[in-house]
Amino acid sequence: MFRPERISKTSLIFFKSDVEEVLKILSKHEAFHIIIKENNIESRDINKLKLLIEKIDDIIKRIKNISGEVEIESHYQILESKDITSLISSIENEVINYENKVKELEQILNLENSLSFIISLWRPIAIKLKEIFPIKFYSKYFSFIVLYQKEYRPIIPNIPLPNIIINISQNPNIILSICFKNDEYNIKKYLEEAGYVEIPKFNNMPKDIFEVNEVIKLLEDKINEVTKIKNELISDIPKVLSKLFYFKLILSDILSIVNIKESYSFGRNLVMMEGYVPTRNIDLLLKDLREKLNGRIIVNYVEEHSSKDVPVIFRYPKFISLFEKITCLYGTPSYNEINPTPILAMTFPLFFGLMFGDIGHGIMLSLLGLFLYKYTKSLSRIGIYLSICGIFSAIIGGFLYGEAFGKHIFHGIFSPTEDFMSLLKFSLYIGVAHISIGISVQIINNLIQNKKVDAFLLNLPRLILYICFIYLVFGFGLNIMRWLEGPILIMIIPMVFMMIGKPIWALISHGKKEFLSVFGEVGFETIDTVIRFISNTVSYLRIFAMVMAHIYLTNVFYSLSYIAGEGIIGSIFSWSMAIIGNIFVVLLESIVAIAQDLRLHFYEWFSKFFENNGVKFSPFKLTILAK
């Protein structure tokens, strides 16, 4: 779990006539990570396939933007084609057809929205005109200017010209200005400066706005016609999505095969394929290959031990596996370093609980997470994280703080509002422990990578230096004069050792030139380390800050509820404010706490040891073509 599964580099040599059978067996076992040879210029076929897959992804995304998540049926009817090239061409033609349908649907939606918007603006105008001006005689002598505001601003400018301004509606804010025809231009200018714009016009818009009612009716008929076409196209969406997902699977299979074929080493009649196989799967895979090919295959394999290029696969208990996704947000551990996921699975919910420790709010958050897990698909994984973090919040809130719904109900280990200095120090202790674990992991990584010089002459002194620095701060405070009386020696010794240890080794092993280079590098790194020690450790005060913010923010809502007064209305307001406040605190602070938790792990901890240059194990698998 801390180390990846043992992987063996494997080469297969077999006849060209057996290629299809070999690929089927590899796909069946899902245990062969094929080494793809890197070419500076990809083949035309690979580029074409990638572009077609990207086009399908784009169409699927556009469809989902229109209709949201849609239930689709699995579609595995194999397409008939004489060869791969013809198959790709037929898929490409169908994809283009679906793309055109999506474009048509988007255009229809835009037209429908545009017509609806225009009608929503002109309908109240038509109604108002009918109410206040039943005869059209006035239009011969006056101008009728209709404008609206995109953002509501109720103040109408003082126009130094004779006119009448009538408010037609407030949502949206539409006004009708009646003025002499000679003043029309100037009045429009004044109103536009105040944020008003002309209402969009439509085709066949009459010059006489008193006739707008008839045109609105025609537009409504047009909208009904457009909506009917839209509904017909939308009804086909599940079928279209099903086909598109199916095409994507086929093209992914073809892309895998083309990639592999370009990675073959060909002889006259033989093929050599190289890849990585989990050592525990080797025997079963080779047995199947030999049986199906009647022994017509030569296999060589050797277990890898420290190469960082080897793909990684980890196996965890179910609880820990949930947190692998968080590690992957930062990167993939390499084959020759410690996997931080098992540690993160403990510290991530722990830190969240420390920042958001509250029995009541923790239970609320856990129930919210359970709801998201059971009743939503896209947020189900987030629901699991929220449930776990909520449980830790409730436990820590009770054990450490004695807090429930922002109120202190009993005395825990800490009373945040009374004993905040102890809580502040505790936050720093958490940071010291976490950072020390990170540096220790880096020492272990050095030993795994056979970098004993870095382990014992660089990172071990760094760890000792950090512990000594923390001892000085907590033992003697920030009184530098007391440090200089003698205690500072415990910090200077590892610092000097860190600065000269590796350079002296370089001098003995490689000479004076290498000594100067390493000395300059390590000297700069030592100064940077001390600065980082301070900033990284202080960063864990976020735990203390979040606890205090949680308590005081909740109390704000309680204070508002207390001033509501007596009586039925006052009681209703008081309880409503308290309930809404607690819900707001849970939603807001859970987001903030998760963000701070990620920061502490990614920037303060991972930076101590995580190289982020691993390759994820990706076994060869055919989804459709192997069926």
Residue 590 reports pLDDT greater than 50: yes
Number of C-beta neighbours around residue 66 at 10 A: 16
Residue 441 pLDDT grade (very low, low, confident, very high; cuts 50, 70, 90): very high
Structure confidence by residue, pLDDT tens digits, 265-299: 666 678 888 899 999 999 999 999 999 999 888 88
Structure confidence by residue, pLDDT tens digits, 305-346: 878 889 999 998 989 999 999 999 998 999 989 999 999 999
Number of C-beta neighbours around residue 67 at 10 A: 13
C-alpha to C-alpha distance for 173 and 154, rounded to whole angstroms: 8
Between 212 and 390, the higher pLDDT residue? 390
C-alpha to C-alpha distance for 333 and 328, rounded to whole angstroms: 8
Q: What per-residue confidence (pLDDT) applies to 437?
A: 95
Domain boundaries, the chain: 7-98+235-312, 111-231, 338-416+544-610, 451-539
- The letter for the amino acid at 544 is F
Query: Strand 163-170 relative to strand 403-404: parallel, antiparallel, unpaired?
Result: unpaired
Answer whether the bond into residue 172 is a cis peptide, omega within 30°: yes
Question: Quick check: 45 and 258 in contact, CB under 8 A?
Answer: yes
C-alpha to C-alpha distance for 422 and 473, rounded to whole angstroms: 15
Helix, strand, coil percentages in the chain from 3-state DSSP, rounded to 5:
65, 10, 25
C-alpha to C-alpha distance for 51 and 151, rounded to whole angstroms: 42
- The letter for the amino acid at 357 is G
Closest CA to 329 of 595, 617, 608: 595
Between 589 and 253, the higher pLDDT residue? 589
Question: Quick check: 436 and 343 in contact, CB under 8 A?
Answer: no
Phi/psi region, residue 8 (left: phi>0; alpha: psi -120 to 50; beta: rest), is beta
Closest CA to 13 of 270, 276, 295: 270
C-alpha to C-alpha distance for 615 and 313, rounded to whole angstroms: 9
C-alpha to C-alpha distance for 73 and 57, rounded to whole angstroms: 18
Number of C-beta neighbours around residue 117 at 10 A: 13
Question: Quick check: 114 and 207 in contact, CB under 8 A?
Answer: no
C-alpha to C-alpha distance for 505 and 514, rounded to whole angstroms: 10
320 contact partners, CB below 8 Å, separation of at least 6: 1, 341, 342, 345
Closest CA to 502 of 516, 518, 526, 524: 518
Query: Strand 311-312 relative to strand 615-616: parallel, antiparallel, unpaired?
Result: parallel
HSE of 56, CA atoms in CB hemisphere, 13 A: 25
Q: What per-residue confidence (pLDDT) applies to 533?
A: 83
Between 565 and 553, the higher pLDDT residue? 553
HSE of 251, CA atoms in CB hemisphere, 13 A: 25
Sign of CA dihedral 426, 428, 430, 433: negative
C-alpha to C-alpha distance for 46 and 48, rounded to whole angstroms: 5
- The letter for the amino acid at 356 is F
Q: What per-residue confidence (pLDDT) applies to 201?
A: 67
139 contact partners, CB below 8 Å, separation of at least 6: 208, 209, 210
Question: Quick check: 414 and 400 in contact, CB under 8 A?
Answer: yes
Residue 471 pLDDT grade (very low, low, confident, very high; cuts 50, 70, 90): confident
Question: Quick check: 241 and 116 in contact, CB under 8 A?
Answer: no
Mean pLDDT of the chain: 83
Residue 355 pLDDT grade (very low, low, confident, very high; cuts 50, 70, 90): very high
Q: What per-residue confidence (pLDDT) applies to 164?
A: 81
Total-model pTM: 0.75
C-alpha to C-alpha distance for 260 and 137, rounded to whole angstroms: 82
Number of C-beta neighbours around residue 235 at 10 A: 9
